[in-house]
Amino acid sequence: MPKRFYVPMFQHIGEPCRPCVVVGQKVLKGEEVGRAEGRISAATHAPTSGTVVSIEEHVIGHPSYLTVPTVVIDPDGQDQWADSVRGLVNPLSVSPSVIQEKIRAAGVVGLGGAVFPAAVKMSPPKDKPVKLLLINGSECEPYLTCDSQLMVERAQEIVAGIDIMMYTLPTNQCVIVIEDNKPDSIRAMSQAVQPFPKMRVQAVPTRYPQGARQNLIESITGQEVPSGTLEADMGILIHNVATTFAIYEAVVLGRPLISRVVTVSGRGIVRPANVQCLIGTPVQDVIAHCGGLNPGVRQLILGGPLMGRAIKTMEVPVVKRTSGILALLQEEIVERPEGPCIRCGRCVQVCPIRLIPCEIAWRAKSDQMDRMAEVHLMDCMECGCCTYTCPSNIPLVHYFRHAKSVILADRLAQDKLRQDKARIQAKEARMEREKAEKDRQKEAMKAASAARKSAAETGKGALSEAVQQGGLPKS
Amino acid sequence: MSPTNLLLGSSPFTHGSGSIAQIMQTVIWALMPATAMAILIFGWPALLVIVLTTAASMVTEVLFLKLRKRPSALGDGSAFLTGLLLALTLPPQAPWWLCVTGGFFAILVAKQVYGGLGYNLFNPALIARVFLLISFPVQMTTWPAVNPLFGEQAYSLSESVAIIATGHQRTPELVDAVSTATPLGQYRTETGLGKTVQEALGGSYGFNTLKAAEGWIKGSLGETSALLLFLGGLYLIRKKIITWHIPVTMLLGCLLPATLFWAYDAAHYPDPLFHLVTGGLVLGAFFMATDMVTSPVSIKGQIIFGLGCGLLTYLIRTWSGYPEGVSFAVVIMNATVPLIDQYTRPTAYGHVK
Amino acid sequence: MIDAVLSMSGLALVAGIGLGVAAKKFYVQSDPLADKVMAVLPASNCGNCGYPGCRAYAEAMATAAAEGGRPVAINRCLPGGAATIQAIADVLGVDPVAVADAIGPQMAVVAEIQCIGCTACIKKCPVDAIVGANKQAHTVIADWCTGCKACIVACPVDCIVMVPVPQTPYNWKWDKPAGPHDRFVS
């Protein structure tokens, strides 16, 4: 157990959550410390019992190396669960909305890497029923083995989780997809699904990026997900095995997502292992648990070697998306300068979604951002195959990320301009209205005073008339 | 404590072992058997031609990268490969200035002027060959007789230097031999005079397909041994440097019409095997058309490109003013690559055509 | 010799006349560019461009572009930023240029201790990005602020400052790789 936990408020896709504890407050294990903001968001919880010592900006494993608000907790060593942690005794007898609420409250997100809030995925809209549930047991990347180990050790729980999910959605078909180089996982899962006729295990070829949603769906159904749509539009829902396990824990045990299995590997690690890690544990504590670092570590990566994120410092905490911690030595890294593209076409041949990476990179190099739509830049899932295979060491994915962020920032800027304009017009309209209102009031006042005046005139006239009529005695 | 000086940046953090230098080296190795055979068949002059041409290419590369203030790229082996490929398209006793001009032109005009490796539109070796062929037609079509390295009449090394440097020949008989043509030239000239193919190639000319495949025919250095070139090409495919698509479709593109016309009129159109073993078809199919920079990136594009190269080769060989058309065919198809790339972009995942 | 000169001159004359006639005959009255430019401006009339309002700036740019003459810089719109420059460049058919000030996007921040709650800035803010009531400290809604500086001018106690929009993981951008030593590098 580390001396101090750093629980970032931004561990998922969507809106970051807002700290709901104050400095000095005692928290119990599983107590909510960050509240979900908005529909697509996920709560975060205290990984153990202890005291909130500060709420500060802390570095996270993000390629920007920037900080986010983080709740810092000093454990009290009691590791005492909160009272709120209570599971459903018989989940299959309650209303699905109760289960959905449980998952939402537990802050479960997709643990395969996308970190999309699971509760959102578990509440499909009425017009898009889920016909097929895919449980992704294909490891996301080479080096990582956390999912396959989970399947070997927790097959029963995973299957129970699937059962709950199938009841909640509802759906009556489920395929558990496992790569064929993991016979142990396939055996364990096949045994576990035997009592459930609606589930089956299917082995798929081990070929990165098999775990990507596009490839998974193609291998199982033979169909492609149309560009710009989600698999949900096809009536397919994908969940990772680790997410399934988290859902089981959330529903049956009431435990929020406060830990996950992390693969600690690479030749820079003294004792590589799969470790059950509490969320918020600094990377250096995890590495220390695995015997520390070998000398000469050149690169530290959160996640896998193909899609992970390099980190600058070991103060970065393990978060929900951290599937692996890799410490690579110099000899595991190819460090060569970028060369010219010789159009060898290897990137074209390896691209799992049939893009022309070299052409996209050329356009990114020459800043032709307005011509990216025709080469489908936004369809790229950044699997890294093209960069891996490029003989010229061109950082293709880096070019794509650059181009994507430029295009996205531009879209946001355009949106902001539109909003600005709308606000300006709203304000102008309001000013005009107020002015008109004022004018009318002025007018009304003028009219009123004029009326008074004329009334006074008439009054005077009446008086004089009266006088003239000689009603009044001469003074 | 965190280790210092950690490597940052964008994923992926792992990388395959391929590199430009490795690709070029593999291609050079694949060319070695045919090169050795060329030296064996034509003697020391052939070696001198190869050395001169590659040296000229590499010197030009060094000079112009220096002029353009770029780091030296000699280590990637591309200049050596260009020089070697060019040398293999030259006559076995090409004069020294032809070799040097060719190497210089290939690197400067066909490569560096375009921006260096990766930016050239045309295959540098072939552009240089076409340039030499048009500018110096006599020297480029002077075909010495086969004179093996260890034969009875073999050139000595000093004699070879004299031949390349001054064009001086030893004996009148050998000078006479110089004037006969390559099989393709023989076929075109003689059938043009009204003879049949059999009359043209048989008789005193004595064409033999198997001998030709081994390389015992007149022609450019690398055009001769179709067999060894073929083996080198298979090695490249096995090593995954090239795919089979361009070579196979290029051979098909030439041999299919050849078969059709041969079946139609064997007296005037030679058999497809003749086309296969003579001229630069195999060299072109495996080593020239497959040049990565100047061929399409998609498989579909490569098939179109290969077919075009083969078909144009056959057209030029059969009906144009030149007896051999591989270099023209490939260079013409090079020009269409941007267009082919544009129209053969694979349909991306999740998109409908 | 004289034949060649005469025939070339004759050809040039014919081509010249043809071009001249075509230019007159097919002359297209350029449609009101100013409206199009105006459409891409924020319309906040903040005046940072040095013109009295967005309309005036749009007209100046359109006139300069249509009639030649002294060009008017298209990078003077502070609230619009790079996106607006690009849009103006597209409308006018010129190359986009960098944002006038290289300090990046800015936003206003009210020093709440100094604020006297006079609501002068609230009245001036074109996008209603400042909230507050009379005699209460005001504050800026960061997401709404366009960085137009209208409030700074309005503030009687100079309690509003411009600060760069902070970098966070949400608005962070991937840099562009340095690239190889190729022909584009000098």
Domain that holds residue A351: 336-459
pLDDT tens by residue, B99-138: 999 999 999 999 999 988 889 999 999 999 999 999 998 8
Sketch the domain layout of chain C as residue ranges: 33-92, 106-164
Alpha carbon of A240: minimum distance to chain C alpha carbons (Å): 25
Task: Look at A276-285, A368-377, B283-292 and tell me which has the smallest mean pLDDT.
Answer: A368-377
Whether CATH 1.10.3210 fits C33-92: no
CATH number of C106-164: 3.30.70.20
Residue type, C45: N
Q: Mean pLDDT across chain B, nearest whole number?
A: 88
pLDDT value at position A138?
Answer: 86
Task: Look at A222-231, B129-138, B294-303 and tell me which has the smallest mean pLDDT.
Answer: A222-231
Task: Identify the three-state secondary structure at position C105.
Answer: coil
Q: Which chain B residues contact residue C177 at CB under 8 A?
A: 10
Q: What is the pLDDT confidence band of residue B178, given thresholds at 50, 70 and 90?
A: very low
Q: Which chain B residues contact residue A382 at CB under 8 A?
A: 11
Best of C46, C91, C125, C168 to mutate (most A CBs within 10 Å, chain A): C168
Q: Mean pLDDT across chain A, nearest whole number?
A: 88
Q: At what angle do helices A241-248 and A155-168 cross, to 10 degrees?
A: 80
Alpha carbon of A425: minimum distance to chain B alpha carbons (Å): 40
B119 closest CB neighbour out of C174, C177, C183:
C183
Q: What's the average pLDDT block by block, 10 residues per block, for chain C (186 residues)?
A: 88 92 74 78 77 82 74 77 81 71 73 87 87 87 84 87 83 81 45
User: Between the ranges B214-223, B330-339, C84-93, where is the mean pLDDT highest?
Assistant: B330-339
Alpha carbon of A66: minimum distance to chain C alpha carbons (Å): 6
Say if A365 is an interface residue toward chain C (CB within 8 Å): yes
Q: Which chain B residues contact residue C174 at CB under 8 A?
A: 10
- B116 contacts C182? CB cut-off 8 A: yes
Phi/psi at A340 (5° precision): -75, 155
Best of C176, C181, C182, C185 to mutate (most A CBs within 10 Å, chain A): C176
CB A60 within 8 A of CB A309: no
Size of interface A-C (CB pairs under 8 A): 87
Q: Show Cβ contacts of residue A19 under 8 Å, excluding neighbours closer than 6 positions.
A: A9, A33, A34, A35, A55, A69, A71
- What is the spatial distance between Cα A154 and Cα A146, in angstroms, rounded to a whole number? 12
Size of interface A-B (CB pairs under 8 A): 169
A354 closest CB neighbour out of B3, B13, B348:
B348
pLDDT value at position B180?
Answer: 67
- What is the spatial distance between Cα A123 and Cα C21, in angstroms, rounded to a whole number? 70
Q: Distances in Å between the alpha carbon of B96 and those of B159, B167, B181, B260?
A: 14, 9, 22, 42
Question: What CATH number should be reported for the domain holding residue A344?
Answer: 1.10.1060
- What's the fold here for domain B20-343? Ammonium transporter fold (1.10.3430)
pTM of the model: 0.84
pLDDT value at position C55?
Answer: 82
Residue type, B41: I
Structure tokens at C61: 């740019």
- β pairing state of A259-265 and A273-278: antiparallel
pLDDT value at position C184?
Answer: 43
pLDDT value at position A460?
Answer: 65
A431 domain-assigned: yes
CB B72 within 8 A of CB B44: no
H helical segments located in B68-145:
78-88, 96-107, 124-135, 137-140
Structural domains in chain A (count):
1
A282: left (phi over 0), alpha (psi -120 to 50) or beta: beta
Say if A38 is an interface residue toward chain C (CB within 8 Å): no
- C174 contacts B119? CB cut-off 8 A: no
ipTM of the complex: 0.87
CB A180 within 8 A of CB A206: yes
A52 domain-assigned: no
- What is the spatial distance between Cα A40 and Cα B98, in angstroms, rounded to a whole number? 72
pLDDT value at position C29?
Answer: 58
Q: Express as a percent the part of chain A with pLDDT over 90.
A: 44
A150 domain-assigned: no
pLDDT tens by residue, B140-166: 888 887 888 887 777 888 888 888 888
Please give the residue of chain B at the shortest CA–CA distance from A308: B11
- What is the spatial distance between Cα B161 and Cα B158, in angstroms, rounded to a whole number? 5
